[in-house]
Amino acid sequence: MIMADKERIVVKIGTSSLIQENGRVNLASIDRLAFTLACVNNQGYQPILVSSGAIGVGLASLGLTKRPAEIARQQALASIGQTELMRIYSQRFLDYQTKVGQILITRDVLTFPVSLQHVIDTFEVLLADKVIPIVNENDPVAVDELDHHTMFSDNDELSAQVAVKVGASKLIVLSDIDAFYDADPHQDPDAKVIRHVEQLTPEMEAAAGGSGSGLGTGGMVTKLRAAKTMLAAGKQMILCNGKDPAIIKDVLAGKEIGTRFGKGN
């Protein structure tokens, strides 16, 4: 891997990469993620992790498999799951001599200048001390019934907003799909991978399907929104399969993996 001079990157991992099909927490995947980001951190990068999975981990903690429809129950599960998820992350990262810090965000925090500056200052101190920030939406308080809009549509959007606000050069989105295709590969066997995208077209947006796994809230639509945010800021987003988080090293080494949105290698 090419040595970095404090290059700042954001890595977003989805629920499908953290929770197994049987509803149990994917400890092996989390361990590989912690090892990889600890290595990246030691090599001079400044990684920020945007992690979904709070509700999925909450379900696993209570022995449940189906995400409830009621907002209050989702918030309660997120509260339980976020605590457990951070315990797992903290334990796994410490195994690799790396400290982590939690940052929970609502849209308001990134909208209002004073709160935005405070959270940026927090990022800066953590990164300067080689502590990896782990970011998630503050689900227990972020609901669209409030008078002010506090929700992000998904952690894909949150990760792109964070990447832009903190001046990251790249956003690496680890998903349950290999790349962006010109059609839905689940329905069209002739769908082809698009390796490089410098500008999103209406045809590309039309090719985006619906939501992803039953435990998560995202899908290709939200990933293209994130890509659009990164492209508008002149940054890169790489969409790739997060089954093995070690793929982050290959992305940073410039290997042709997944789909790269933006100019450059």
86 among the known binding-site residues? Answer: no
220 among the known binding-site residues? Answer: yes
219 among the known binding-site residues? Answer: yes
12 among the known binding-site residues? Answer: yes
3 state SS of 134: strand
Instruction: Please compute, for residue 64, the number of CA atoms within 13 A of its CA located in the half-sphere on the CB side.
Output: 16
Q: From residue 51, give the alpha-carbon distance in Å to each of 13, 146, 177, 233, 261.
A: 5, 24, 17, 22, 21
Residue 245's nearest CA partner among 4, 51, 42, 82 is: 51
Residue 142: CB partners within 8 Å, gap ≥ 6? 106, 107, 150, 151, 152
Cα angle value 159/164/168 (rounded, 5°): 90
230 among the known binding-site residues? Answer: no
176 among the known binding-site residues? Answer: yes
56 among the known binding-site residues? Answer: no
Residue 165's nearest CA partner among 139, 141, 135 is: 135
155 among the known binding-site residues? Answer: yes
131 among the known binding-site residues? Answer: no
DSSP state, residue 234? T
139 among the known binding-site residues? Answer: yes
14 among the known binding-site residues? Answer: no
Strand order in the sheet with 46-51: 100-105, 132-137, 46-51, 8-13, 170-175, 236-241, 259-261, 196-197
Residue 83's nearest CA partner among 48, 54, 112 is: 54
Which amino acids are annotated as binding site for substrate, given as ranges?
52, 139, 155
Which amino acids are annotated as binding site, given as ranges?
12, 52, 139, 155, 175-176, 217-223
Which amino acids are annotated as binding site for ATP, given as ranges?
12, 175-176, 217-223
